[in-house]
Structure 1
Amino acid sequence: MGLPAIFAVAVMVAIVMVASPCAEAKTTIEPCSGSDSCPALLGYTLYADMKVSEVAALFAADPSALLAANALDFAAPGAAHRILPMGLFLRVPTACACADGVRKSVAVRYAARPADTLATVADVVFAGLASADQIRGANGLADADADAPLDAGQRLVVPLPCVCFNSSDSNLPAVYLSYVVQVGDTVPAIAAAYETTVTDIMNVNAMGSPVAAPGDILAIPLPACASSFPKTASDHGLLVANGTYALTAGNCVQCSCGPGNLNLYCTPASLSRSCPSTQCSNSNVLLGNASTHATSAGCNVSSCSYGGFVNGTITTLLNTGLQPTCPGNSCC
């Protein structure tokens, strides 16, 4: 496994300071140009009990998208107000943009609270995803002491690490997770947890050896389901990490990926009160469903799949095929 050569060459490792002047942490940086972005995930460990809506607000994310990225039920009553326990690890969705010649997430704006310092904002509130130096540089605070209290209400830009690498890994669709290495972590254990290999992680992060220190930020490729919607669709390029789902078409369609396979499977969602029709044309089959009809030649199967959200319309595709027998029928 590993990055295609054209992307592996582009990887460079930058050294940034975190926690204390004596501790250095590494993070993988992807040089870029242009104004494009890609979907990415931030690995975040809660520093306190927090509501879903609070975590979403902290990262300028949509609560429903946060629930979807963690395979949590968005339709449950009060889902956005669900309290998540301290220490819980979450995947936070973000748009990985190109800014200042490198990939990063630049959407977060944080309002300092009483007793906050640059160090506590970086290490506690954002759980090591940013360093005090990075926050200092992004806000023109060159002379600010990392341990000095900030003014309450002071607004800070918090740049967060992410990569795109063409949303692929070994020429297969992938979404990249920015993972902060914890005390006790090993690269083999991280690879096993995310169903990849040590070699792949080393290639993606340009590592000379399979060793990572606490505080290092690794880019972890997660297998994903890719869509093939037309460019006219507002959700063209939809990419969903394995084991998660995404809401699209104005929260009217839920597209899931795995587990078990990497084929995108879309069904009507119940989040929006008013949605366009999800019925396939010239049929009575609804999106995500199938109908069967036994014939002398076998079983005709018609299924309705999602084709993208175009000009406010949920595009559907009717697929037909012939199987030897219909589900539930046994051969005589």
Structure 2
Amino acid sequence: MEADITAVHIADSLINAQPIINNRNIVVYVKPGTLNLQEFALDFDLTAGATSVPAAGSVQDFSVPVTYEVTSEDGQYKKQYTVTLLESSVPENFDFELFGQDEKRQWVYFYEEVAGIPQNLWASGNSGFALTAGSNPTNATYPTQVTDLQQYVTSGKHAAYLETKSTGFLGALVKKPIAAGNLFIGSMFTKSIVDIQTRFGLPFNKVPVSLTGYYLYAPGSKVIDKDGNTVNVQDECDIYAVLFDRVALMEATAKDEEYPNRTWLDDKDVLTSPHIIALAQLKDAGPTTGTGMQKFELPFVFKREYKQADVDAYRYSIAIVLSSSKHGAIFQGAVGSKLVVDQLKINVK
């Protein structure tokens, strides 16, 4: 935390979701037509004593991503942030062909092109796992990876490859002995090995009918719980998508002390929130048969009535969640469980 953008300040009346700050990328979902993207002054906070070029609050052309270079107070550290103001919503097709690698810690991250602009819509637990990955990690060290093995690829040249990993001595010490391979629409907020948050969901302005794709799942041999004890069950994967009323969630959390006006779901309420509009989830989450990828189609089951006017106004958000261990959020799973996913699609009305 020597050369970081720590917070972004923009009026709630201009945005569809709270600004997303990742390691080197910031995305702000703005309401279409509410501001002039070609001439906008974005205000943000920096690590104490740090400076940025361009400066915070200076007018920039955000019709394309703007790069800010942040320099620490002592001048020893520099970090570049790509900041994008986006008027579009989450896309409907995902083929996992677009990915990059963290410069320092070597983990893989996936991104999508939205309105011709690369966007880090996907997040994973790789950044948190990096705290236990050792001094010389490789791509294969991490739970969330990419594969080009043709038996796993149904479209293009790559697929998402998720594997439950051991977090070693340090992870076991804090009762987090495993890390499921996971990938989700949203962002990951990591303070430390004991304070890692998943923030599910980004704006979506369509009515989903089903989630389709291809997958392969092979569970590991021994499931353990957070205390490292063996649990006599077979590991399962998880594939689901959630459409929720982001505005209703903001209103319900307006007075929360820790996260007021929350625009995302978390591990505790992503499947149970009263603000969920519709849910699509894989029912049979055990091992797939044969050696090849299997097609799935998950219908969205509507729990509440939606309003087309709210859809058009970007009131709703959607999250897609993939995990190699269904109960990975409570650190229960089998080391070696593998989930491969390709050619995801949100089918809409």
TM-score tier by shorter-chain length is: under 0.3
- Higher helix proportion (structure 1 or 2): 1
Greater gyration radius: 1
